[in-house]
Homo-oligomer: A and B are copies of this chain.
Amino acid sequence: MPGVLELLPRDQVAMQKMLDTIRQVFESFGFLPISTPALELTEVLLTKTGGDTERQVYLAQSTGARAQGHEPDLALRFDLTVPLARYVAEHEGQLNFPFRRYQIQPVWRGEAPQRGRFREFIQCDIDVVDRDSLSIRYDAEMPAIISELFTRLDIGNFTIRLNNRRLLRGLLSELGVESADLQGHVLRELDKLDRDGIDAVARALAARGMAATVVDRLLTMAGPGPLKGIAAAEMLKALPAANDAMSQGRDELLSVLSMIEMQGTDPNRIAVDLSIARGLDYYTGTVYETTLDGHEELGSVCSGGRYDDLASLYSKSRLPGVGISIGFTRLFDQLRDLGLVGSASNVQVLVTLIDDDGLSTSLALASVLRTAGYNTEMTMTTGKLSRQLKYADKAGIPLVVIAGEDERQRGTLQLRNLLTKTQVEIPTSDLAATVGRIL
């Protein structure tokens, strides 16, 4: 089916390993799992008027209900933020705040199938949500988590780019771009700096009616790209505190930077980039993007930000929060294209069967390996050894146990390592320990 990523088992193993790593990092920072149903009521999902998102939602209806002529009252979630908002509003009285949740689940969008766009894809989200107010310190925790996550994923160097929407809005006001509507347009154009370059963005802003001098001042301030360490702090301190929004946004960004330093996050992974705007109007303060060094063309692989109110549509409580999201399926697909994804089996040992008299021995050996914690497949029917070895090789199973009649009489077995193409004969009783040393 077009628009979905269906994997062969070895790639699926690689995907699961990455997802396990992400989950482990989320859990290590004290996030709690939640899982919401794929189907939500349409009245929950379709709250915005018009817009691309709405047209791309999958409506769902049972064959029985359709036959009776009912309208669909269910739809598949298109992100994990709306379900989180509904979940928090619904269970507010039973949750502990600040509520730290992680959620790793698929979402669906009725995209026209094209390269890199998926109709069904996994998102990995974390958010910290509190009632009434949430300390800026949580904004600094997110880059620490992103840094730990991409370090553990081990897919090369990366840069976490920070900005602050309040600062950007203040900057635009100072430049005379006052209306929220025009500010929104300008922020969306700024977001394209990385992709389209400074000249194209300058032209687009001019086409919106901005004076050349204003465009020039804006791009001078927002355009220098990511700045790290002292350069970032100096640039921020040199900004004019022309209005409350600018000074507040700048101070927020500076305190996030100082706390990131206090946490011991590698400073080479952190940059301030005033062109980062994040398209969504949803964000109000700190915003994040993450790019893979040398693969900036992939765009941001982990993004998010601070928002003022998660669930205004579903709850009377004010629920400010901060969160990040990974569009996992697309990232995995891109990393696979780049050759950055492994391809090993989750099966560690194959126990062969050479002759039927050896059945009980082979069963016992497989059982010993499983008890010792090694994923073990057993061949249930006799067949040429060469064929069984070929099977293991093709499947990516690294170790093969062979206990033919001779070995059984000697109380030994052959342990073959398909990675190093070596084979040793060992006493049967040494099997688990020897496998442990190799793996």
Contacts and interface: CB of A to CB of B under 8 A. Distances in A.
A37 to B, nearest CB: 4
Interface in A279-310: none
Contacts of A98: 380
B55 A64 contact: yes
B28 A9 contact: no
Interface in A1-44: 1, 4, 6-9, 12-13, 15-16, 27-30, 32-41
Contacts of A96: 391, 394-395
B34 A12 contact: yes
Contacts of A350: 30
Contacts of A419: none
Given A262-B360, A394-B96, A63 B1 contact: no
A345 interface: yes
Interface in A98-122: 98, 100-101, 106, 108, 110, 119-120
A57 B66 CA distance: 10
B59 A55 contact: no
A335 to B, nearest CB: 17
* Residue among A4, A91, A119, A346 with most chain B CB within 10 A: A346
B55 A67 contact: yes
A35 B8 CA distance: 9
Interface string A56-68: 1111111111110
A106 to B, nearest CB: 7
A407 interface: no
A376 interface: yes
A46 B66 CA distance: 14
A3 B364 CA distance: 44
A346 B88 CA distance: 19
A119 to B, nearest CB: 7
Contacts of A432: none
Interface in A331-390: 345-347, 350, 359-360, 363-364, 367, 370, 373-378, 380-381
A317 interface: no
Contact of A9 (B34, B141, B374): B34
A331 to B, nearest CB: 16
Given A30-B347, A34-B9, A95-B8, A63 B59 contact: yes
Given A30-B376, A37-B6, A346-B27, A62 B57 contact: yes
15 contacts: A1-B37, A6-B35, A9-B95, A29-B377, A32-B345, A38-B106, A46-B63, A57-B62, A59-B61, A59-B63, A96-B391, A259-B359, A262-B359, A264-B364, A264-B367
5 pairs of A and B residues whose beta carbons are closest in the complex: A62-B110, A30-B377, A9-B32, A137-B380, A4-B37
Given A13-B32, A60-B108, 15 more contacts: A4-B37, A9-B34, A9-B101, A12-B33, A13-B33, A15-B35, A27-B375, A28-B370, A28-B376, A30-B375, A55-B62, A58-B63, A60-B76, A137-B359, A264-B363
Interface of A: 1, 4, 6-9, 12-13, 15-16, 27-30, 32-41, 46, 54-67, 72, 74, 76, 87, 91, 94-96, 98, 100-101, 106, 108, 110, 119-120, 135, 137-138, 141, 148, 259, 262-264, 345-347, 350, 359-360, 363-364, 367, 370, 373-378, 380-381, 391, 394-395
